[in-house]
C-alpha cells in the first residue's frame, strides 16, 4: 500500500497521508510526491483549493521519518540528510507561497515535519485531539521546516517557550500561538471536506469554525513572557518564578540537547527580523546541515528513536556549559553550501 494518496476530487486537489501505523511520518518520497502535485495544481484552473489530511486517529503527521537519516549519518554519510532537508524545505516554501487556499486538517500529533507540510498553509484546522509541537531540541536539532518562523511570530515570548520546551499545544494553545486558524470538531470534518471538494469555496471553513476550550498557555502566558525574556538559556532558567510551572519547564529544557537549546533561542530571535519563510529556512539549514557531523543529531536519534534508552550523551553537559562560540559555529553562513530553494 502507498504511503500517500494524491488525487483530484471535484474542485479540490487532495493529499492524504496513509501510513497511520507509523503516525504518518513523512518520508522523502512522500515529500517529493506532494511537491510534484502542488506544481501541477498551482496553475490548474480546475483546482480551486488543496486539502491535506491523514488517516488514523493518533496523528496527522508526527514528524519526518528519521530512520534512513540515522542509518546514513551514523556511518558517516551526511549527504542523504542534507538532500532530504534541502528538498523538504523547498516544499515548505512552496506551501507558504501557494497561490490557492491550502487547507490542512490536523488531528492528533502534528510535529516537526508534519508542521512543515500543514501549518504554512492558508487554512489550518485543529480539533479536540490536536497536539502540536516542535520537539527537535530533544533529538539534537532545532525547530526547522519553517517552524522557526512560526515560533518567531508567536505573541510575546511564546516562541522561545515552545521551541525550548517542546510543549505540546492543544487546539486553544495552537490558536493563541498562531500555529492554527480554526477549531472545528473532528465530527464535522467529513461533511466540510465534501463541501470543499464540491465547491472549492474556502468560506465553508469559516462557517464551520467554533470556539475551543481554554488551553495551558493562556494560564501561564504572563509567566512565560517574563521568564523567557532572558538573554541566554541560563538567564531564562534563573528568571523563572519559583513554582511547579518553573520546575516542569526547567526539566523539559534540560532534557534536550544543550547545543540545540542554545541555538534555538538564537534562531528564533534572529528570525523575528524576517517576514517570509525563505530566510528562516536558510538559517535553519545552517544548523541541520551541520547537525549530524558537528552536533548532537546522531546521538539524539539513537537515544530517542533507535535504542529508545532515553539516555543521550550530549556533547555538552548542560546549558551552562555551551560556549557562545559553539552556538555561533552552528549558525554561521554555509558559503557554497547555502540552501538553494530554486
SS3 133: strand
Domain annotation covers residue 219: yes
| Number of structural domains the chain divides into | 1
Q: Which of the pair, 68 or 116, is modelled with greater confidence?
A: 116
Domain annotation covers residue 210: yes
Domain annotation covers residue 127: yes
Given a cut of 60, whether residue 114 has pLDDT beyond it is yes
pLDDT at position 148: 98
pLDDT 10s digits, 290-303: 999 999 999 999 99
pLDDT at position 1: 57
Domain annotation covers residue 312: yes
**Longest Cα pair distance anywhere in the chain, in angstroms?**
58
| Residue 341 exposed, middle or buried by CB count within 10 Å (0-12, 13-18, 19+) | middle
Closest CA to 119 of 192, 194, 169: 169
Domain annotation covers residue 163: yes
Domain annotation covers residue 51: yes
Q: What is the pTM of this model?
A: 0.96
Range of the domain at 61: 4-337
pLDDT 10s digits, 167-182: 999 999 999 999 999 9
Given a cut of 80, whether residue 265 has pLDDT beyond it is yes
DSSP 50: E
C-alpha cell at 212: 475551543
SS3 124: strand
Domain annotation covers residue 60: yes
List the CATH number of the domain containing 80.
3.90.226.10
Domain annotation covers residue 342: no
Amino acid at each position: 500500500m502507498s504511503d500517500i494518496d494524491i488525487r483530484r476530487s471535484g474542485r479540490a486537489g487532495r493529499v492524504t497521508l496513509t501510513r497511520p501505523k507509523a503516525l504518518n511520518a513523512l518520508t522523502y518520497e512522500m515529500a517529493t510526491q506532494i511537491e510534484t502535485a502542488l506544481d501541477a495544481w498551482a496553475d490548474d484552473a480546475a483546482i480551486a483549493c488543496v486539502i491535506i489530511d491523514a488517516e488514523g486517529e493518533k496523528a496527522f503527521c508526527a514528524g519526518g521519518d528519521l530512520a534512513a537519516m540515522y542509518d546514513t549519518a551514523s556511518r558517516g554519510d551526511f549527504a542523504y540528510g542534507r538532500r532530504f532537508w534541502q528538498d523538504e524545505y523547498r516544499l515548505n516554501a512552496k506551501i507558504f507561497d501557494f497561490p490557492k487556499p491550502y487547507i490542512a486538517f490536523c488531528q492528533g500529533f502534528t510535529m516537526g515535519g508534519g508542521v512543515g507540510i500543514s501549518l504554512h498553509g492558508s487554512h489550518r484546522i485543529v480539533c479536540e485531539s490536536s497536539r502540536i509541537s516542535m520537539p527537535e531540541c530533544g533529538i539534537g536539532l532545532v525547530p526547522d521546516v519553517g517552524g522557526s518562523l512560526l515560533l518567531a511570530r508567536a505573541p510575546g515570548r511564546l516562541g522561545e517557550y515552545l521551541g525550548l520546551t517542546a510543549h505540546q499545544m492543544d487546539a486553544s494553545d495552537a490558536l493563541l500561538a498562531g500555529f492554527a486558524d480554526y477549531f472545528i470538531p473532528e465530527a464535522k470534518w467529513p461533511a466540510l471536506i465534501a463541501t470543499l471538494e464540491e465547491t472549492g469555496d474556502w468560506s465553508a471553513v469559516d462557517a464551520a469554525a467554533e470556539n475551543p476550550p481554554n488551553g495551558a498557555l493562556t494560564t501561564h502566558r504572563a509567566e512565560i513572557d517574563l521568564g523567557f525574556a532572558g538573554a541566554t538559556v541560563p538567564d531564562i532558567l534563573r528568571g523563572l518564578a519559583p513554582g511547579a510551572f518553573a520546575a516542569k519547564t526547567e526539566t523539559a529544557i534540560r532534557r534536550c540537547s544543550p547545543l540545540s537549546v542554545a541555538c534555538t533561542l538564537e534562531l528564533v530571535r534572529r528570525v523575528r527580523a524576517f517576514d517570509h519563510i525563505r530566510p528562516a529556512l536558510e538559517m535553519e539549514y545552517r544548523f541541520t546541515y551541520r547537525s549530524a557531523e558537528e552536533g548532537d543529531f546522531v546521538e539524539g536519534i539513537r537515544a530517542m528513536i533507535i535504542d529508545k534508552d532515553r539516555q543521550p550523551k550530549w556533547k555538552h553537559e548542560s546549558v551552562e556549559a555551551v560556549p557562545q562560540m559553539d552556538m555561533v559555529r552552528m549558525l554561521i553562513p554555509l558559503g557554497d553550501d547555502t540552501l538553494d530553494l530554486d
